[in-house]
Amino acid sequence: MDIKDLKNADLKEWLQYWIDLATPDQVVICDGSQAQYNEICNMMVASGAFIKMKWPLNSYFARSDKSDVARVEERTFICANKKEDAGPTNYWKDPAEMKAEFAELFKGAMVGRTLYVIPFSMGHPDSPIAKYGIELTDSPYVVVNMCIMTRVSTEILKRVDDGREFVKCVHSVGYPLDGDKADIPWPSAPVEKKYITHFPETREIISYGSGYGGNALLGKKCFALRIASVQARDEGWMAEHMLILKLTSPEGEVKYVAAAFPSACGKTNLAMMEPTIPGWKVETIGDDIAWMKFGEDGQLYAINPEAGFFGVAPGTSMKSNPNAMRTINRGNTIFTNCAMTPEGGVWWEDHDSKPEFLVDWTRRPWTPAKGTKAAHPNARFTTPAAQCPVIAPEWEAPEGVPISAFLFGGRRRTVVPLVNEAMNWEHGVFMGATMASEMTAAALGGAGQLRFDPFAMLPFCGYHMGDYFKHWLNIGKHKGAKLPKIFYVNWFRRGEDGHFLWPGFGDNSRVLKWIFGRCNGTAKAKATAIGNLPEAGSLDLNGLNIPEADLKALLEVDCKGWKDVLPQIEAHFEKFGAKLPAEMNKQLADLKARLG
């Protein structure tokens, strides 16, 4: 397929504008084929951008520039027409001014490079919940990662050409090869020239200067959350930073659970969990993002809009997440900013192996005595979801899966119990709006300073978060809705001496079993000031040896601790000003009254 064959005037005009502005040497339409993927990977090996690994099979290793290693929040902007629509949790730029700046930045930005046209679908292309996008990029690294993370095909381009709505995504590494300038393995622009921008009204994403992760793979957080959250608000559905898992009881009954946790709170681990209680099974629908729409039966149906996992490597092991390790070890994986073993394999902190010598992510020799990290803390693996050994057979079902429960959580060493069921939908929204983790500097045994991350969407909501809370409340008013139950979980509670009160990992299945029972009305709970907690004996603790004092602390209401954090919740809510829904202030007042 060639651009000249397109018949959609708006599509052709958009493509031609960027081609004329960026002036690439050539334009290539990506077809999502294995042959094209292999060709681009081989080209990157030849240029030094990739190292072909000996194991896992058909896998590649990349190192980024030291200045381009993660999301750049302070260079990430919501370019809404009105500043107040971006809200207090986002950086804002005037859309007209930003477009004018891009007209200069992109002028000749792709000289000496190839402009790749990536037509992609978020979700199964035939799903009523799916959305389409086209990303223009001069980064072959982005192309191969997008081929894993999304569904790339010329069929999507044909459907867009036939008039299907799509999100316009434009990306450049900002490193033209003009004059005698030689290419480098990881081209990027200085931090002050990096921009990751979102235009919610026109459904556009424009990114310049970074080649890393969500800054460049524009189907990821940029589209799947920041732009999709605006689409979801306008169209009456939900785009959430949530894993989706399938939970099957020993009797074969199935429920689907979606869960929102901030980073470093075990989201991927939960999505791929190996339960420790006999007869229960967890399978993965998705590990990061859930798009949900109401069906005609009033049920919320969810799809995972992604086709791969873009996981943080450090901390991933056969102990923490054996199924993630099995997935990447099946091959077809791209590793970024990990360390390399002398045998040509990969390594990162908390890996199962204990090497004596490595080449670290900065290309320097490394031994344990060096005292530095061998892999970058944000080192990543990009791997196909289809090869996960516990991927659910229906993970790509176009109609989605019905959600029975939402879980919220954070990393709280104090105050918050192991599991707490919301009293009703509004109380559940309050739980999500006050999601928080304790800062690492929190005093041992103290309430600690909280970092609030509402619904785990703090960096990802594409509009004013007060309006986002209102959207959640409106979802609860959907006519005929069979709403999921809402729970708050905390795997990270600690004792005064710092030890974890709960074993976590596969034993979190015990909490899922109680939640399953609550959805069925069979598991027992006691009403408390903060919500419904498990009654004594209602959690399956068979085979666990948890001291009575620890279990008591996990399942009690720390009234003093809750009273101590109320002022922090008040200060958190004040940020949203007049746009904070009245229901949230009422929930806060009711909580105060119940605590006495």
Architecture, CATH, for domain 3-49+71-236: 3-Layer(aba) Sandwich (3.40)
User: Is residue 446's pLDDT more than 70?
Assistant: no
Residue 565 and residue 561: Cα distance in Å, rounded? 7
**Residue tagged 């619904």 (tokens):** 455
Of the candidates 1, 79, 82, 80, which has an alpha carbon nearest to the alpha carbon of residue 36? 1
Is omega for the bond preceding 95 within 30 degrees of 0, making it cis?
no
- The pLDDT, as a whole number, for residue 442 is 38
Structure tokens that stand for 432 in this block: 């999500």
- The pLDDT, as a whole number, for residue 444 is 42
CA-to-CA separations, 397 to 21, 157, 172, 401, in angstroms, rounded: 40, 22, 34, 8
What mean pLDDT comes out for the span 435-452?
70
Note whether 313 and 327 are within 8 A (CB). no
- The pLDDT, as a whole number, for residue 266 is 83
Residue 558 and residue 416: Cα distance in Å, rounded? 8
Identity of the residue numbered 429:
V
Helix (H) or strand (E) holding 23: none
Note whether 335 and 348 are within 8 A (CB). no
CA-to-CA separations, 329 to 38, 150, 273, 317, 382, in angstroms, rounded: 19, 20, 17, 11, 12
- The pLDDT, as a whole number, for residue 125 is 98
What mean pLDDT comes out for the span 235-263?
97
What mean pLDDT comes out for the span 264-291?
94
Structure tokens that stand for 265 in this block: 């709170």
Same fold for the pair 3-49+71-236 and 240-307+395-595: no
Model confidence over 209-218: pLDDT tens digits? Answer: 999 999 999 9
Which entry of 30, 147, 222, 265 is annotated as an active-site residue? 265
CA diameter of the chain: 74
In the chain, % of residues over pLDDT 70: 98
Residue 442 and residue 21: Cα distance in Å, rounded? 51
Residue 569 and residue 329: Cα distance in Å, rounded? 43
Q: Which CATH superfamily is domain 308-387 in?
A: Phosphoenolpyruvate Carboxykinase, domain 2 (2.170.8.10)
- The pLDDT, as a whole number, for residue 439 is 81
User: Is residue 238's pLDDT more than 80?
Assistant: yes
Judged on CB neighbours under 10 Å (0-12, 13-18, 19+), 479 is exposed
User: Is residue 543's pLDDT more than 60?
Assistant: yes
Structure tokens that stand for 180 in this block: 């005698």
User: Is residue 441's pLDDT more than 70?
Assistant: no
Of the candidates 297, 246, 305, 248, which has an alpha carbon nearest to the alpha carbon of residue 272? 246
Q: Which pLDDT band, with edges at 50, 70 and 90, does 586 fall under?
A: very high
User: Is residue 51's pLDDT more than 60?
Assistant: yes
Note whether 220 and 135 are within 8 A (CB). no
Q: Output the CA angle 392-313-289, nearest 5 degrees.
A: 45
> What's the start-to-end Cα distance of the chain, in Å?
69
In the chain, % of residues over pLDDT 90: 95
Query: What letter would DSSP give residue 282?
Result: E
Note whether 468 and 457 are within 8 A (CB). yes
- What is the residue extent of each domain of the chain? 3-49+71-236, 240-307+395-595, 308-387
Judged on CB neighbours under 10 Å (0-12, 13-18, 19+), 4 is exposed
397 phi-psi bin (left φ>0, alpha ψ -120 to 50, beta other)? beta
- The pLDDT, as a whole number, for residue 304 is 98
CA-to-CA separations, 520 to 253, 322, 513, 514, 516, in angstroms, rounded: 11, 30, 11, 10, 7
Which residues, including other chains, have CB under 8 Å from residue 5's CB and lie 6 or more apart? none
Note whether 247 and 273 are within 8 A (CB). no
What mean pLDDT comes out for the span 521-541?
97
Judged on CB neighbours under 10 Å (0-12, 13-18, 19+), 292 is buried
Tell me the β-bridge partners of 259: 243, 407
User: Is residue 448's pLDDT more than 80?
Assistant: no
Structure tokens that stand for 424 in this block: 């009703």
51 or 447, which is more confident? 51
Helix (H) or strand (E) holding 94: none
Residue 509 and residue 295: Cα distance in Å, rounded? 28
- The pLDDT, as a whole number, for residue 440 is 60
Model confidence over 454-510: pLDDT tens digits? Answer: 999 999 999 999 999 999 999 999 999 999 999 999 999 999 999 999 999 999 999
Of the candidates 445, 433, 396, 456, which has an alpha carbon nearest to the alpha carbon of residue 591? 433
User: Is residue 391's pLDDT more than 70?
Assistant: yes
- The pLDDT, as a whole number, for residue 578 is 97
CATH of the domain spanning 240-307+395-595: 3.90.228.20
Q: Look at strands 308-312 and 380-384 and give their pairing.
A: antiparallel
Model confidence over 401-436: pLDDT tens digits? Answer: 999 999 999 999 999 999 999 999 999 999 999 999
Residue 152 and residue 134: Cα distance in Å, rounded? 9
Model confidence over 14-42: pLDDT tens digits? Answer: 999 999 999 999 999 999 999 999 999 99
Burial 246-268 (b: 16+ CB within 10 A, else e): bbbeeeeebbbbbbbbbeebbbb
Q: Which pLDDT band, with edges at 50, 70 and 90, does 265 fall under?
A: confident
User: Is residue 179's pLDDT more than 90?
Assistant: no
Structure tokens that stand for 306 in this block: 């992604």
Catalytic-residue membership of 41: no
Backbone angles phi, psi at 453, to 5 degrees: -140, 80
Residue 313 and residue 324: Cα distance in Å, rounded? 10
Q: Output the CA angle 386-388-391, nearest 5 degrees.
A: 75
Structure tokens that stand for 409 in this block: 């959580």
